[in-house]
């Protein structure tokens, strides 16, 4: 999974950051992004596409990433920001915030997906399904997913009726049922369709 990184290291870049986000498709909660810089030529076997890992394996992988990475940062955009600038731009902004806080600073970015911000301060490339082909992006995917799940479980204690401890804000039947019964909260994304399709 280091092909992208090795090519960049060979080109002279030392600090290559992988970027990914979690929560774009949710009805409630923030979108959370992560940026991760891994040491040169370090392979972490526990890192895979975070979507293919069980929750316990994701949490174990997160510990290994945090123990070995040169820098790990998280960026967040709130439901209000998502409603204001739309989910795509909010996801990109969350990734930009995470990248901005990296220390050491990133010299080059590997961004999951096919879009990045205009007038980027960093050289970059977008990588479709990058969490399956880049170790740095896969690491960022794991950090973003575990961080967002943790946040949603905290919010679930304030609003237990929505089942966020299990659905973490995604559009499940349980979530739609709760919205129909209890209405929406300040953590729901008002710009999203919050009623199930007929």
Q: Are 116 and 124 in contact (CB under 8 A)?
A: yes
Whether residue 123 is contained in a domain is answered as yes
Whether residue 86 is contained in a domain is answered as yes
Rounded to whole angstroms, the Cα distance separating 119 from 123 reads 10
CATH code where residue 63 lies = 3.30.420.10
Buried b (16+ CB within 10 A) or exposed e, 28-45: bbbbbbbbbbbeeeeebe
Residues with Cβ within 8 Å of residue 141, at least 6 apart in sequence: 20, 22, 34, 49, 50, 51, 112, 131
Helix (H, G, I), strand (E, B) or coil at 143: helix
Q: How confident is the model over 28-45, as a mean pLDDT?
A: 95
User: Which residue range(s) make up the domain with 132?
Assistant: 3-152
Say if residue 49's pLDDT is above 70: no
* pLDDT tens-digit map of 119-174: 899 999 999 999 889 999 999 999 999 999 999 999 999 999 999 999 999 999 99
Whether residue 193 is contained in a domain is answered as no
* pLDDT tens-digit map of 9-36: 999 999 999 999 999 999 999 999 999 9
Rounded to whole angstroms, the Cα distance separating 169 from 25 reads 9
Rounded to whole angstroms, the Cα distance separating 152 from 117 reads 27
pTM of this structure: 0.95
Domain count, the chain: 1
Whether residue 146 is contained in a domain is answered as yes
Whether residue 174 is contained in a domain is answered as no
Q: What is the pLDDT of residue 50?
A: 63
Whether residue 187 is contained in a domain is answered as no
Whether residue 182 is contained in a domain is answered as no
Whether residue 172 is contained in a domain is answered as no
* pLDDT tens-digit map of 88-118: 999 999 999 999 999 999 999 999 999 999 8
């Amino acid at each position: 999974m280091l092909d992208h990184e090795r090519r960049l290291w060979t080109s002279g870049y030392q600090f290559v950051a992988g970027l990914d986000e979690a929560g774009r498709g949710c009805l409630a909660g923030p979108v959370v992004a992560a940026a991760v810089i891994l040491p040169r030529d370090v392979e972490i076997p526990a890192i895979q596409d975070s979507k293919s890992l069980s929750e316990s394996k994701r949490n174990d992988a997160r510990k290994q990433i945090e123990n070995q990475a040169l820098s790990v940062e998280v960026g967040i955009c709130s439901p209000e920001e998502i409603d204001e600038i739309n989910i795509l731009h909010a996801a990109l902004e969350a990734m930009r915030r995470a990248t901005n806080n990296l220390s050491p600073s990133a010299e080059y970015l590997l961004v999951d997906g096919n879009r990045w911000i205009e007038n980027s301060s960093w050289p970059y490339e977008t990588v479709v399904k990058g969490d399956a082909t880049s170790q740095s992006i896969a690491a960022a995917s794991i950090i973003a997913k575990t961080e967002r799940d943790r946040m949603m479980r905290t919010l679930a204690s304030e609003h237990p009726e929505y089942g966020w401890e299990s659905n973490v804000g995604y559009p499940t039947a349980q979530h739609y049922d709760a919205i129909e019964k209890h209405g929406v909260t300040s953590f729901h994304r008002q710009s999203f369709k919050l009623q199930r399709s007929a």
